[in-house]
Structure 1
Amino acid sequence: MASRENAPDDILKPVKWPLRLTLWGMVAERITRAFWPLWSVILVTLAALMLGLQDLVAVEWVWGAGLLAVLGGLWGLWRGVTRLRWPRRPEAMVRLDASLRGNPIQAALDSPAIGAGDPGSRALWAAHQARMRARMAEARAVEPDLRVSRADPFALRYVALLAFLVALVFGSFLRVSSVTAMGPAGADLASGPAWEGWMEPPGYTRLPSVYLNDVTAAALDVPAGARITLRLYGEVGALSVSESISGTAPVATESDPTATAQAFDVARSGRLEIEGPGGRGWDLDVTPDAAPSVTRSGEIEASYEGDAQIPFDARDDYGVAAGRATLVLALDEVDRRYGLATEPDPRDAIEVPLPMPIAGDRAQFTETLIENFSEHPWANLPVRLEMEVTDEAGQTGLSAPEVITLPGRRFFDPMAAAMIDQRRALLWSRANARDVAQVLRAVAHRPDDVFRSAVPYLRLRTILRRLEGFAAEGLTVDQQTELAAALWDLALLLEEGDLADAMERLQRAQDRLSEAMRNGASEQEIAELMQELREATDDYMRQLSRQAQQDGEQGDQMAQDQNMVEMSQNDLQRMMDRIQELMEQGRMAEAQEALEQLRQMMENMQVTQGQGGGQTPGEQAMEGLGETLRDQQGLSDEAFRQLQEQFNPGQQGQGEQGQQGQQGEGQDGQQGQGGQGQQQGQGQGQGAPDQGQQGEGQGGGSLRDQLADRQQGLRDELNRQSRNLPGAGTEGGEAAREALRRAEEAMDGAEQALREDDLAGALDDQSRAMEALREGMRNLGEALAQQQQQGQGQQGAAQGTEPGQQRDPLGRNSGSNGQLGTDENMVQDEDVYRRARELLDEIRRRSGEGERPQEELDYLERLLERF
């Protein structure tokens, strides 16, 4: 057997280059493992010098760090030399041979131990060596193992490499030479003095720093407030600095222009010059920081609720930091009559912060200040508006003072307007308390002529009694605030009215819209009247809900009426959308008929539901989400039947039996849900089997397109419900919105899967959509319950229905405020666990049948993983 040291070249010729490359790789591997500490020390030292850290500390620290770097380098060199073992050719041959199957190199160098004289043995050995040499031709160089993680568990080598890369980006090789001038024995001392300089603009300008050594131009533009830093090296006094840009003496270590370190701020244009060997000078032109400016833009608007909208424009050369608006009563512009004739009580100016853009550039922008001043004593009075903005440099800009009428809520009911006038007089001056009391007593003299009900009259009597009592002893500030709040609430009650007022407003809106359709009004006028009808309807529903809370016992009696037809806010919304659509199409006769139907329904609602209560926005949202979940469940069931028909076309009887069972369960659920559930079952649940049968007769492709269109409609409906979801700003409300967003994404995936004929994928997406919908309903129910506990919401029971009679999409009692959860059994069967076991066994049996299509087997596996 030939040794690896003296291996014949003709045998190793096929692996000549792989063997050589493997040997070189082993050299690099051993050098890396031996000298990685030395390289790390060198990289860290070089990075510190390139970043100029030696110029930021005292010279003693520099010499100490240099001594540590030298010692570390010597230790790394000694460690590398003592641990380095140069690889030999036989070692490379062993590594290369180990990477091949059967060790062909060793086999090619071997000789037979026995049977050398046997011709058969020699022939067998020759064939074996020929096969091994052929295998040697497949040899590839073995990659070196350059990992040193065992020797460097803290990855210090990567820290050194990162520091060096940072120095390459932010440092300069020119700074390395500055370390030689740190002491009297520096190498640069013989060649003459040197200097370095930096110009650093203020941070808010977001401009880069300038290294003065690299500036070759004689003039330089500098922003005001920039910081100039100079370092002088070499013999002290060889270089000096003269400047006329700061206006003050340089801040140096010594009060001397020849000090080695100097720094000053640029305050004005001038010249900066370094005098001496190698010195340089620049003419600095200072760019002043302009003060910000703000002006009011556009018209001031106010909403019906009194929200003032004041648009404004602001600008600055680098960006506006903050702003505020100040409102002061323009006493010389006030009509000083009646309650305003007395001298007003002193009040602080109104100061509100100006809104700033959250993202984007603040150098120039337009925003709108939105604030409600309706309850302030100066509402609807002339005030002097002045806006102020500030930039990062502390400079301020003021708008020109202007007199405006402070926007506030307007009251159109005469009695409500009178209450607001007396409230303003009371807040104007506490000296008006007796006069206000006399006016209120005169108003309440004949209550039957001015009040529609006893509630506002009794509240006014209470306010009047307290006001007269306080005025006799001297009205305090706290009492003044308390009475003003009571008068405000009374004015709101009189303005918004009760149920009869809401019904009168609704009828008036319907009459105006009907007359406009008969007279051929313009599209804009009809749109405005339609919006008025929507607002009147919403107001009427709110009054119904409020009346329901006051007449709880009568509402319970009405809830027991089995002949009552339930109507949700969504139903009314759809009817009004239909009326508007007919008017836009020019079908005025049909729109008039639909409007008359709406009128009759609202009148019936006044008779039947006016005492039973209406739905709150939260209940309407819960009902809409429940309908969407039921529709999604029906669509998913139909898609599953289509998948069964695709994989088991011969099992028609079994599929029909399963459909009958599902229909029977749906009927049971509908009976538990009342008339509304029956209507939904007819519109959704019962429509699914019919469509499925039609699809079976006409072909799967057209039916799947129909399923995809229905899925798209459900997604659009959910998107609309998400935009109108209550509970904004609360934790539960935001969680519900996030869950509905995930449901929309899953519905979109299901639609795409249906259009691509991927029923299994569509079922998975539909399942995720239903789970997200249930989670959103749970979160919304918790948010509504929390609002009710805090006294900010309304009762969660649905209109004319007891909480125990409400049903969620799965047939369970939803409880109050739409909270899901019940103690009743989902399946009314004594042997429910046996039925669940049978279903699970059937799924397992089908998943074990290998002849079924792979798509069906994957779907069955997902079912087993989930359940």
Structure 2
Amino acid sequence: MRHLRFPVAATRAGMVAEQVVRVFWPFWTVVFLILAPLMMGWQDLVPLELFWGGAVVSVIAFLATLGWGIRRFRMPTRSEALERVDAAMPGRPIAAIADRQAIGSGDAASEAVWQAHMARMAERTKQARPIEPDLRISDRDPYGLRFVALLFFVAALMFGSLFRVTSVGEIVAGSEQTLATGPVWEGWVEPPAYTGKPSIYLNDVPAGPLRVPEGSQITLRLYGEVGALTVAETVSGRVGEVGSASDAQQEFDVMQSGTLTISGGTDTTWEVTAIDDTAPSVELTGPIEADAMGEMSQPFTAYDDYGVEFGTATITLDLAQVDRRHGLTIDPDPIAPLVLDLPMPFTGDRSDFDEFLIDNLSKHPLANMPVTLQFEVIDAAEQTGMTPAEPMILPGRRFFQPFAKAVIEQRRDLMWSKANAGRVNQILRAVSHRPEGLFSNETTYLRLRTIIRRLDNFKEVGLTDEVQDEVVEALWELAIQLEDGRLADARERLRRAQERLAEAMRDGASDEEIAELMQELREATDDYLRMLAEEAEPNDGTDQADSGQQGQQMGMDELQALMDRIEELMQEGRMAEAQELMEQLNQMMENMRVTQGEGGDGPPSPGEQSMQDLADTLREQEELSDDSFSDLQDQFNPGQQDQQGQQGQQPGQPGQQGQEPGQQPGQQGNEGSNPSQGGQQGRGQGVGEDSQSGEQRGDGAGGEGDQRSLAERQQALREELQRQRDGLPNLGGESGETARQSLERAEGAMEGAEDALREGDLAEAIDRQAEAMDALRNGMRELGQAMAENQNAEPGQGSEQGEASGSPVPGQRDPLGREMGNTGQLGTDQELLGNGDINRRAEELLDEIRRRSAEQRRPEIERDYLRRLLDQF
């Protein structure tokens, strides 16, 4: 069948390839192993005896593997290929169509069935496809010798030359034939390793111009009768100790441009050009910068044609520019120049790079002194490049506390010259004569007295280098303690506590270890904040972080809530979230600002006053929403609410939380009914009368004090919000406009809640009140953003951000489990959760709402409200 010709022919070709690979793999492995050393020129390097031994072994291996392959090779037949194609198809249709009917040949029905079967098999043969050959021979070569030989051959192709194989014929022909055909030579040019240039095989380079890097090594080997070949060159610049021009092996370096000639038979001459290695260069790309702690940063750029190896920065005292007063009037002791290693790129190209020299030299004798700064870089050829000496004042730590500055000045004088020891001793004695007001604690005073006694001990014999270094270090520590007080020790303790807690997060500590580490962090934070507050002075930012975040204040309750949340996340195994909050805590501590008093330094700005008024309105709206929910429960579970109200008022207690002076105890009827609070702490609006609000709602009659209906209270809040909206400061920008729109929506939602309360639809009123609270929070958030933008646009006008835009504590939730917003207050002023775990109590309340919403015996309107409450929050 014609449609089987191609699949069978292709399969047969594949079977031939299988045979060739399986029986001849030892042959081409031996061929590769023979060619690789010949292409690398090993035959020219090894002794003649070893070459002949290797040649004999190679010939034997070549013939043996070739004969083994020929003997085992068997040409596949067409029938074998046809059988392989047939075996790959289901039912072997090719063999089936060659069968003959053995039973029922005379029966017409049987023959019809047989013909249908034949037709089906014939149709199936059209699906025949060529069979891929199996070229795997890992079972025959378990050690991978073929790959080793292939690797050698590929390496010879890359680093050798096929022309070197021809030298075998010359060796085999013998010395007589070599002399008859003429002498031969070989040559190589090896550029310096640091250039990264490849080697050059001179035999492959035609005569003419040849450019090589300066310092390249030329190696020549001459074969044949001595004197038959000679070498003449002018590139090395050698004067003495020059060997014979006919030496069999010659080596020299290219130090200058010139010619290289190999004479004998046919002369070959190269005009060699030595590529100069240019010296590296370095430049300062900007002025030196330093922070208050003395860390300096000097940008620079360096470049070289092949790459800079390393560099140094030399700082030398500029004695002519020193203000020779006080302890600097005498000649200084020898101060060696300070040499710093320049930073180099760890990876990448060093031929052209930009870097920064960063260091803190505050404790060095040259700190805050006139110096000259000079950079120097060196390349692999030991060539140098340097910058001009740049005069400057070497940055050092700045001290602001007067007594600390005085101690640092005496330390400088003592490092300037040991002869200043007596003068330094006298000044320190004068300072310690009346220490009142100079020392924050006894420790610093005792340190100073110890330094003075140490100087007294060497007053007669003079200071040694060791004692000078000891006293200088003691003066530095004293100045640091005077500058930072105990704040530095507390900061270090806080840092260690944070590091230990971070390590526990990475290693997965137990609950007991987490509790212990969190307690350590709390104690360290308390100590740090207490010492920071003790050293803070009004209108003095010396010990305050200059982070540009004025107006942000943080209370201990916020810090404690954040640390409680971190501990809770760690105990739950949510280490990634705990790590994020830990980073926020670190940032907060770095940007900590301690203020004295509660009211700030002056009256609040218009923006701050607006934020405070809106916060009061939001709190009152939340109280009103809570009271509305209490009344909604009273309509369906009056007995339960009365019981809870009785539990909220114990006998003998004339007042409750939130009771105004002069308010009667009976006015606290149903305070305990709100599932989201444990007691109300009113702000002049009694909530106990809400039990009568259903009677008052229709007529709007009020009682004594503030006995108003819910609708009247909602109306009063709406009118107050309208007054506050009219009195907002004129803040431009998108945030200011959004804030006004949000407050307008809040006013509309309050109006809708007021109408619903007058109609007695408590569920609708609570929904509208929730919308009003959301709009109020959004308006406060946008108002805070607008004030922040106004502050950034006009920094001289002061901050209007105030406490109302303070950052929320991450992870804090309200009693219903809701995340705290960016601005505004959540809930009321009352102590809703007591002193327990806030987050745990919030989760319990949320679970209680879920449980009540699932109780089938509760009225459908209440369950519907609870479900909507869960959906919203």
> Could you state the TM-score of these two structures normalised by the residue count of structure 1?
0.56
Instruction: Tell me if 1:224 matches 2:214.
Output: yes
Change (3 A) 1:281 1:593: farther
User: What does residue 14 of structure 2 align with?
Assistant: 25
Match in the other structure for 1:355 = 343
Structure 1 gap ranges (5+): 1-11, 512-528, 546-566, 577-587, 598-666, 672-692, 698-804, 813-825, 828-867
When the two structures are aligned, how many residues end up with a matched partner?
552
SS of residue matched to 1:304: coil
- State the secondary structure of the residue aligned to 1:154: coil
**Cα pair 2:545 2:592 within 8 Å, conserved:** no
Partner residue in 2 for 1:36: 25
Cα offset, 1:483, TM superposition: 2.0
Q: Identify, as 1 or 2, the structure richer in helix.
A: 1
Equivalent residues of 2:39, 2:165 under 8 A apart = yes
Q: What displacement does 1:203 show?
A: 1.8
8 Å contact kept, 2:207–2:269: no
| Map of 1:489 onto structure 2 | 477
**1:202 equivalent in alignment to 2:192:** yes
Determine if the alignment matches structure 1 residue 419 to structure 2 residue 407. yes
- Give the corresponding residue for 1:123: 112
Aligned partner (choices 78, 94, 119) of residue 83 of structure 2: 94
Q: Aligned residue for 1:141?
A: 130
Cα displacement string for residues 773-797 of structure 1 (whole angstroms, at most 9, x for unaligned residues): xxxxxxxxxxxxxxxxxxxxxxxxx
2:539 counterpart letter in structure 1: R
Q: 1:258 aligns with which of 215, 234, 246?
A: 246
Q: Out of 30, 41, 55, which is 1:66 matched to? A: 55
Following superposition, the deviation at residue 394 of structure 1 comes to 1.9
Do the aligned residues in 2 keep the contact of 1:273 with 1:280 (CA within 8 Å)?
Answer: yes
What whole-Å deviation, never above 9, does each CA across 1:593-630 have from its counterpart, x for those lacking one? Answer: 69999xxxxxxxxxxxxxxxxxxxxxxxxxxxxxxxxx
CA contact (8 A) 1:437 1:467 kept: yes
- Name the residue aligned to 1:323: 311
CA–CA distance in 2 between the matches of 1:67 and 1:333?
Answer: 84
| Residue equivalent to 2:723 | none
Whether 2:37 is the aligned partner of 1:48: answer yes
1:91 positional shift:
2.7
Task: Provide the C-alpha distance between the structure 2 equivalents of 1:539 and 1:309, rounded to a whole number of angstroms.
Answer: 33
Q: Which whole-Å deviations, capped at 9, do the CAs of 1:640-676 have from their partners, x for residues lacking one? A: xxxxxxxxxxxxxxxxxxxxxxxxxxx99999xxxxx
Q: Which residue of 1 aligns with 2:397?
A: 409
Q: 1:25 to 1:183 in 2, by over 3 A?
A: closer
**One-letter amino acid of the counterpart of residue 244, structure 1:** T
Task: Report the Cα distance in structure 1 between the residues aligned to 2:838 and 2:77, rounded to whole angstroms.
Answer: 80
Structure-2 change in CA distance of 1:484 and 1:143 (3 Å):
same
The Cα of 1:57 is off from its aligned counterpart by 4.0
Match of 1:302 among 290, 303, 314: 290
Cα distance, 1:391 vs structure 2 = 0.4
The answer to whether the Cα contact below 8 Å between 1:245 and 1:268 also exists between their aligned partners in 2 is yes
* 1:760 match: none
Partners of 2:221 and 2:839 lie apart in 1 by 78
The separation in 2 between residues aligned to 1:51 and 1:256, in whole angstroms, is 28
Name the residue aligned to 1:242.
232
Q: 1:235 to 1:540 in 2, by over 3 A?
A: farther
User: 1:374 and 1:594 mapped to 2: Cα distance?
Assistant: 48
Distance 2:220 2:840 in 1: 78
Displacement after TM superposition at 1:185 (Å): 2.0
1:225 Cα deviation after fit: 0.4
Pairing 1:280–2:311 present? no
Q: Which amino acid aligns with 1:325?
A: A
**Counterpart among 149, 154, 175 of residue 160 in structure 1:** 149
Question: Is 2:445 the partner of 1:457?
Answer: yes
C-alpha distance in structure 1 between counterparts of 2:159 and 2:239, whole Å = 31
Determine the C-alpha separation between the residues in 2 that align with 1:287 and 1:17: 63
Q: Residues 69, 444 of structure 1: CA spacing in aligned structure 2 closer, same or farther, 3 A cutoff? A: same
| Residues 435-488 of structure 1 deviation map (CA, whole Å, 9 limit, x = unaligned) | 211111111122225445555334323332333234356533333222222211
Listed as ranges, the matches of 1:568-717 within 5 Å are: 589=605
Find the counterpart in structure 1 of residue 167 from structure 2: 178
Contact in 1 for aligned 2:545/2:591 (Cα 8 Å): no
Partner Cα separation in structure 2 for residue 33 and residue 303 of structure 1: 75
Q: 1:795-840 deviations in whole A, cap 9, x for unaligned?
A: xxxxxxxxxx99898999xxxxxxxxxxxxx99xxxxxxxxxxxxx
Who is 1:434 aligned against?
422
Is residue 539 of structure 2 the alignment partner of residue 508 of structure 1?
A: yes
Match of 1:396 in 2: 384
Q: Secondary structure at the match of 2:374?
A: strand
Q: RMSD in angstroms over aligned alpha carbons?
A: 4.4
User: Which shifted more, 73-82 or 404-413?
Assistant: 404-413
Q: Residues 422, 231 of structure 1: CA spacing in aligned structure 2 closer, same or farther, 3 A cutoff?
A: same
Q: Is the 8 A contact 1:181 1:234 kept in 2?
A: no
| Conservation of the 8 A alpha-carbon contact between 2:192 and 2:216 | yes
**Deviation of residue 491 (structure 1)?**
1.4
TM-score, length basis structure 2: 0.56
Q: CA deviation at 1:331?
A: 4.1
Cα pair 1:381 1:406 within 8 Å, conserved: yes
How many Å separate the matches in 2 of 1:539 and 1:485? 37
Task: Go from structure 1 to structure 2 and tell me whether the alpha carbon gap of 1:536 and 1:56 turns closer, same or farther (over 3 Å shift).
Answer: farther
Quick one: which amino acid aligns to residue 449 of structure 2?
R
CA gap of 1:669–1:390, structure 2 versus 1, over 3 A, is farther
Q: Which runs of 5+ in 2 are unaligned?
A: 488-529, 561-583, 594-603, 614-673, 679-762, 768-834, 845-873
8 A Cα contact 1:251 1:263, kept in partner = no
**Counterpart amino acid of residue 377 in structure 1:** P
The one-letter code sitting in structure 2 at the alignment partner of 1:508 is: N
1:291–1:60: structure 2 CA closer, same or farther, 3 Å change rule? Answer: farther
Residue 329 to residue 13, structure 1, CA distance change in 2 (3 Å): closer
Q: Secondary structure at the match of 1:310?
A: strand
Equivalent positions of 1:828-847 (< 5 A) are none
Partner Cα distance (2:446, 2:380) in 1: 57
Does the 8 Å CA contact 2:554/2:592 hold for their aligned counterparts? no
